[in-house]
Amino acid sequence: MQNKISRKDAIKSILAGVGVGIATPILLTKFYNLNYKKKENKTLQFKSIHRSIGNPRIKEPITAITIGAGARGNTYGNYALNFPNELKIIGVAEPIDIRKKRFCEKHNIDKSQSFKSWEEIFNKPKFADAVIICTPDHLHYGPCIKALEMGYDILLEKPIAQTEKECREILRLQKKNNNILAVCHVLRYAPYFINLKHLIDSGIMGEIISVQHIEPIEHIHMSHSYVRGNWHDSKKSTPIILAKSCHDLDILRWLIDKKCESISAFGNLKWFTSKNAPKGSTDRCNQGCKVEPNCPYSALKIYYRERRRTFVFDLPENESKHGDYILRQLSKTNYGRCVYKMDNNQPDHYVVSMEFEGGVTANFSMEALTSYDGRRTRIMGSLGDVVGDMNEFIYTNFLTGEKTKWSIENDPNTVKDFNGHGGGDLSLVTDWVLAVKTKNLKNLSSTIDASIESHLMGFAAEESRLNKQVVKII
Ligand SMILES: NC(=O)c1ccc[n+]([C@@H]2O[C@H](COP(=O)([O-])OP(=O)(O)OC[C@H]3O[C@@H](n4cnc5c(N)ncnc54)[C@H](O)[C@@H]3O)[C@@H](O)[C@H]2O)c1
């Protein structure tokens, strides 16, 4: 079992300089397996990336109501099951009966505190410390405003809201009432990005000159969420630059630590359109489509044969019934439709160029058509550079040529099935619970103040893309 390094220790170890080599046998093996070539006379040093999870010092849990018991509502809810000393879910609002029933059973929620829709929660006097808002994008603003008014602390899924005006109104009210409000910009809590941020802040890299950042969505994920799924229509949800990439704009703003002043963007929907529908394809994959066996996006292949992403179907308990159940879902939901014949409008490739205060530049690419996911980052500093892929990053010192590699090590305490966003999901809730418990916003790095700028960048990028103009951010 490896020792965990707290955030404080991680900062210390970075500040201690890149001069101390800690090449553990495990990491060395990894190093040679990856076939990196060690330059002659150059030391390659290793550091591990860890993050403590949970707040063992908390003895009495905070109480919370989950609004929207879908995928994210369950992800955050699972924290309560794993750390019952910290968080107890005592209420829920969810219109889909089976989801509500399962969520109530999981958390032992009293019937009197289980509701069909978010408004009903706020018709009652305040009965919990906090709410966790995990409704679809167009239903963030309403519950958030009500929760702020009634003095609830809040864990708010991104995007904050659908318009700049609504985002600013949430910020105004939070300032007035001083609620603890964390935006689920989970990448800020991922050990990979925390360590990158510490490295930059330590000054070792000198001045940041520019950054290149890629978000490979992975083609099946794209087809599932942004072609067939809940976010296929930017008007009903939010433009993909916010719905998917507000995390990345936020990370760029956070790492560079300067205000973004100008933005210009391009992108469009090029592949998932009717023009590209193969000859012989049908409206649904299960209607005798001639190309189904050779189509990477076949719904039969993804959901039925490979059983991927089937959580959206609320599968019955009895596993022997899954097959027939999935086939029925493919006949009636968007998940069974041909990806070339959907009513989707989200771009499948999107590039954004940004200029920050002091002339720092950044380029961001969101790419749907990739076989891999995660993030790729290159940071160019005046004294050295970084190349990273969300599992590890390597810093090279320009003067000495020395390389230091930070690798994610699996935390033995990581809760199974709760390691989403490079560990960010778990760490976000850890910090949010502490912030609510101590009533101290300093325990959060994704406050509404900090998060709103990335949303303004997203709105500006979309305006630029649609009008083909450089947009200044005021
Ligand atoms: N932070 C992240 O990385 C991340 C990742 C995925 C999704 N999200 C965001 O989280 C939110 C939820 O996404 P999801 O994947 O869990 O979607 P989901 O569809 O699985 O869950 C949303 C739930 O809200 C419920 N709901 C709808 N209307 C409601 C109402 N009036 N009152 C209460 N509940 C209602 C739906 O029935 C559904 O169960 C979205 O805004 C999404 O953009 C964030």
The per-residue pLDDT for range 401-420, each reduced to its tens digit, is 999 999 877 555 555 555 67
For residue 69, report the distance from its CA to the centre of ligand 1, in Å: 7
pLDDT of residue 40 exceeding 90, the answer is no
Distance 97 CA to ligand 1 centre (A): 15
Domain extents in the chain: 282-336
Q: Cα of 72 to ligand 1 centre, how many Å?
A: 6
Measured from the Cα of 247, ligand 1's closest atom is 3
Least confident range of 28-32, 58-62, 385-389: 28-32
Atom of ligand 1 nearest to the CA of 230: 19
CA of 68 to the centre of ligand 1 (A): 6
d(CA 242, ligand 1 centre) in Å = 15
**pLDDT tens digits for range 171-208:** 999 999 999 999 999 999 998 999 999 999 999 999 99
Q: Ligand 1 atom 7: the closest Cα is on which residue?
A: 72
User: Atom 21, ligand 1: which residue's CA is nearest?
Assistant: 70
pLDDT tens digits, 107-160: 999 999 999 999 999 999 999 999 999 999 999 999 999 999 999 999 999 999
pTM: 0.89
Neighbouring C-beta atoms of residue 2, cutoff 10 Å = 12
Closest C-alpha among 405, 354, 349, 351 to residue 210: 354
**Model pLDDT for residues 442-452, shown as the tens digit of each residue:** 999 999 999 99
Distance 333 CA to ligand 1 centre (A): 17
Rg (CA), the chain: 23
Nearest atom (ligand 1) to Cα of 137: 41
Residue nearest ligand 1's atom 38 by CA: 70
Listed residue (144, 147, 115, 133) closest to 70, CA to CA:
133
Mean pLDDT of the chain, nearest integer: 90
Question: pLDDT tens digit string along 279-329?
Answer: 999 999 999 999 999 999 999 999 999 999 999 999 999 999 999 999 999
**pLDDT above 70 (res 28):** no
What is the pLDDT at residue 45?
78
For atom 31 of ligand 1, the residue with the nearest CA is 117
Q: Which of 228-237, 405-414, 463-472 has the lowest mean pLDDT?
A: 405-414
Using the mean position of ligand 1's atoms as its centre, give its distance from the Cα of residue 398 in Å: 46
Per-residue pLDDT tens digits for 63-91? 999 999 999 999 999 999 999 999 999 99
Judge whether residue 438 has pLDDT over 70.
Answer: yes
CA 429 to centroid of ligand 1, rounded, Å: 17
For atom 30 of ligand 1, the residue with the nearest CA is 117
- Nearest ligand 1 atom to the CA of 75 is 16
What pLDDT, on a 0 to 100 scale, did the predictor assign at position 411?
57
Backbone angles phi, psi at 262, to 5 degrees: -140, 150
Ligand 1: residues with CB < 6 A are 67-73, 93-96, 99, 117-118, 134-137, 139, 157-158, 184, 186, 230, 243, 421
CA nearest neighbour of 225 among 27, 114, 72, 398:
72
Q: Is the pLDDT of residue 33 over 50?
A: no
Stretch 229-254: mean pLDDT: 96
In this prediction, residue 34 has a pLDDT band, given cuts at 50, 70 and 90, of very low
